[in-house]
Amino acid sequence: MNPVSRRTFLRNSAVAGGLAPLAFGGLTAALTRPLSAAEPGPNSKIRLGIIGSGDMGVGDLDCFLANPEVDCVVVCDVDDARIAKGVELCEKRRQKKPDTTRDFRRVIDRKDVDVVLVATPDHWHALPTVLACQAGKDVYLEKPLGNAIGEGRPVIAAAKKYNRIVQFGTQQRSQAHYQKAVEIIRSGRLGTISEVKVWDHSYRAPGRGFPADCPPPEELDWDFYVGPAPMQPYNPNMYFNYGYDWFKLSGSGHQVAWGVHHFDIVLWAMGVNAPLAASAMGGPFAYRDNAEWPNTFDATLQFGPGPVAPNGFLLQYSMRLGCRRVQRAHAKCFYGTEASLLLDRSRYSIVAETKNDNKVLASGDLISPEQDELARDDSTRHSEVFLDCLRTRKTPDANPETGHYATNLGHLMNISWQVGRSIRWDGENEQVIGDPEANALVHKPYRAPWKLVV
């Protein structure tokens, strides 16, 4: 098997624009239904339906179709142009045209769909996943788990109640060098860890400006795109070129969209699930446009004691969209009393603490893909892990629960930023302590007729 990486596919294809989500239609009549999809055996075909065939969805689909046992039987999106991109890929990979629909429930209701790939904007992650579990489908769910903390528990409950395999799209979990780095951190080799720094640096200046609200493109059903979120006028910046990340309707900024990858590794390595407190500040300091989330952002989370942080630790997050990229633009560093470990998608490295000088103890720098299996694309590896879990019925390491905890950290930062003060967090009951205004932001009410019911 020689799968093509998502990065290679996206570089060489004509896929353009942001991810468009879901489907077209009203509320599903019954929220519970008998299991209908057959669980794939070791030699059986895995029949997949994709919900959301924008850039991310088509990239994920390409990773799955690199495996000959996977077939895509239906492509769904609210945008006809995005549907066409998914169909084009299926015809290229399988020399046949899949069915198409604008209504994601038509994917879920099909008897010939075993697996649903949910690759929509964030506000449409939880509901299709819950409905797919109720229909007896296994789910590959792109990150983050939802557009609010309150969407996470229903997804966890649905996967457990209906005994479904749900793998979360934090693909770094499946990369060997991340696994090795986590092993090193948890072994205590770094000593007592007191701080973890995480950063995301991109260059998007001068921003996207202030285009006026206008009618949506003819190929897009805007009402269904908005779905369970409060209705608002269409704006091009909300929809194209991953614009959905920067508007509250459909996303929560880099601190959730990118941060969830980092935070998943931090929680895994540190052996903790939830912070005690969060504080954040930021604004449109690099440039001005109509985005609703800041382009310059700093946040700090305080954690209680854990396995490698017996005194507790701080997690500091920094996001920049208008500065020069640092050499390792999306990374994290674990600071211990004996050594520090720097980690990103390319490699890890360890530097010892000494009285007079820094000394490199060990390095996880990766060599070329031709020489080392570790350097394979993380998304391709993650899709293969999911397929293995479908056959064995083993719960993935990247599951709804780990995804929920990792997603929550960025949302807690955003809650602090929105209310303009530090907040204290009750991780067991998932409530903001002593601050009703902040606690109200833990949940986002759904617009009728949509309901998130397990």
Rounded CA-CA distance 415/279 in Å is: 9
Indicate if 164 and 262 belong to the same structural domain. Answer: no
Low-confidence ranges of the chain (pLDDT < 70): 1-43, 355-377
Predicted confidence at residue 363, as pLDDT, reads 56
Instruction: Write the CATH number for 51.
Output: 3.40.50.720
Q: Same structural domain for residues 335 and 298?
A: yes
pLDDT, tens digit (0-9, with 9 covering 90-100), for 203-212: 999 999 999 9
Residues 147, 12, single domain; the answer is yes
Residue holding tokens 């009285």? 355
Residues 141 and 197 in one domain: no
Contact 399, 410 (CB under 8 A): no
DSSP readout, 325-393?
PPSSSEEEEEEESSEEEEE-SS-EEEEE--SS--EEEEE-----TTT-GGGS-HHHHHHHHHHHHHHHT
Domain count, the chain: 2
Q: What's the CA gap between 200 and 325, in Å, rounded?
A: 9
Residues 254 and 316 in one domain: yes
Name every residue whose Cβ is closer than 8 Å to that of residue 74 and which is 6 or more positions away in sequence: 49, 50, 98, 99, 100, 101, 106, 107, 110, 113
Residue whose C-alpha is closest to residue 290's, from 320, 248, 257? 248
State the pLDDT at residue 358: 57
Residue 391 lies in a domain: no
Q: Beta-carbon neighbour count of residue 33 at 10 Å?
A: 15
Q: Is residue 19 part of a domain?
A: yes
Distance, in Å, from the CA atom of 433 to the CA atom of 442, rounded to the nearest integer, reads 12
196 and 97 in one domain? no
- Same-domain status, 123 and 248: no
Specify if 215 maps to a domain: no
Beta strands 277-283; 138-141: pairing state:
unpaired
**From CA 454, how far away is CA 204, in angstroms rounded?**
40
Q: Which two tokens stand for residue 234?
A: 């269409």
Q: Are residues 121 and 237 in the same domain?
A: no
Tell me the CATH number at 236: 3.30.360.10
Please give the pLDDT value at position 370: 35
Q: Per-residue DSSP letters for 121-135? A: -GGGSHHHHHHHHHT
Assess whether the previous peptide bond of 449 is cis (omega < 30° from 0).
Answer: yes
61 membership: H or E segment, kind and range: helix 55-65
Q: Do strands 46-51 and 70-76 pair parallel, antiparallel, or not at all (unpaired)?
A: parallel
Are 182 and 137 in a shared domain?
no
Q: Which residues of 304-323 are buried (b: 16+ CB within 10 A; e: fewer)?
A: eebebbeeebbbebebbbbe
59 domain residue, yes or no: yes
DSSP conformation letters of 318-338: EEESBSPPPSSSEEEEEEESS
The pTM is what?
A: 0.88
pLDDT at 377: 55
CB atoms within 10 A of CB 69: 15
Question: In the prediction, which pLDDT does 273 show?
Answer: 98
HEC readout, 393-408: CCCCCCCHHHHHHHHH
Burial of 209 (0-12, 13-18, 19+ CB in 10 A): exposed
* C-alpha–C-alpha distance, residues 103 and 25, integer Å: 6
> Is residue 75 located within the same domain as residue 120?
yes
Phi, psi (deg, nearest 5) at residue 430: 55, 60
Same domain, 281 and 406: yes
Same structural domain, 150 and 23: yes
Confidence at residue 115, expressed as pLDDT on a 0 to 100 scale = 98
Using CA of residue 264, residue 265, residue 271, residue 275, what is the dihedral sign? negative
| Domain containing residue 29 | 6-172
DSSP helix/strand/coil, 60: helix
